[in-house]
Amino acid sequence: MLLSKNDFLARAEATLARLDGARRDALSHQGAPLVTSLGRAFPKDAPLEPAGLAKALCPGPVSHVGLAAVVMREFLEPVDAVLDASLSRSTVVTGNAKAPGSLLVTCPLLVLGDLEVNGFLDDCGPDSTIVVLGRCVAKGLRTSGNFLVLGDLVVRDVIQGVYNDESLIVAGNLTTRFLDENDHEVACYGELHAEYRFENGRSDEEAASQASAFLVPGLWNIDLGEIDHDELFERIRRNEPVFTETKKHA
């Protein structure tokens, strides 16, 4: 379906006026979402495919493409999709999206429902921008790009932030076992639940020392002050244990 500029912008104005609470706060984290910015994405007032609009708004503040995703959900019929292991072309899933294994994203990805990754989710900023309007679930997440979740984010094992240029923004609750922010901004407008958390600005030496208490040998080196994140995510990809103790369920 093509998106008409006039119809889309009119709906965006009405949608933006209705947004409030944590969803509005999360959308505004990198600056207020602007309908005028959406309008500039339409070339010479011509209609756009949803994926074309997403591509035109990226890279840039996630506020605008996030608003576009919310408006798209009001226009487009929800259709679920199964994702390939690697995405390199701008993609909009109008329903729920599922990756049967791990997922590498190097492009804009908008999921207007829930996203479930049955493995390790790896996004590569600034080429990638991910927006999930519903719930996002994965076994591991390594994020260097802008990543906006308007529902809950649930990552079974590890979230690792990479670089300090972009942000992970969650309107709902964020739940994981090990959160290593590692200079990457993490903003949660709901409740944040992490058994182990290394906050933004931690030293490598301190991180390696603390990680040795809960990560299996081979994933850290105290002498070098290193956590081997590559091997950590490879183990998650192979569904091998990364923690010294199994998580106890209530």
Q: Provide the mean pLDDT of the chain.
A: 94
> Is the link from the previous residue into 241 a cis peptide, with omega within 30 of 0?
no
pLDDT digits (tens, 9 = 90+) for 127-182: 999 999 999 999 999 999 999 999 999 999 999 998 878 999 999 999 999 999 98
Tokens of 149: 């979740």
Q: Give the β-pairing of 136-143 and 153-161.
A: parallel
AA identity, residue 197: R
Residue 243 has pLDDT above 80, yes or no: yes
pLDDT digits (tens, 9 = 90+) for 194-241: 999 998 878 889 999 999 999 999 999 999 999 999 999 999 999 999
Residue 122 has pLDDT above 80, yes or no: yes
**CA distance readout (Å), 108 to 45, 91, 124, 150, 221:** 22, 6, 10, 16, 35
Residue 163: the pLDDT is 82
Residues 36-48, mean pLDDT to the nearest whole number: 92
pLDDT digits (tens, 9 = 90+) for 5-22: 999 999 999 999 999 999
Q: What distance in Å separates the CA atoms of residue 146 and residue 127, rounded to the nearest whole number?
A: 9
* pTM given for the model: 0.95
Residues 87-101, mean pLDDT to the nearest whole number: 98
Task: Give the percent of the chain with pLDDT over 70.
Answer: 98
Residue 220: the pLDDT is 95
Residue 250: the pLDDT is 41
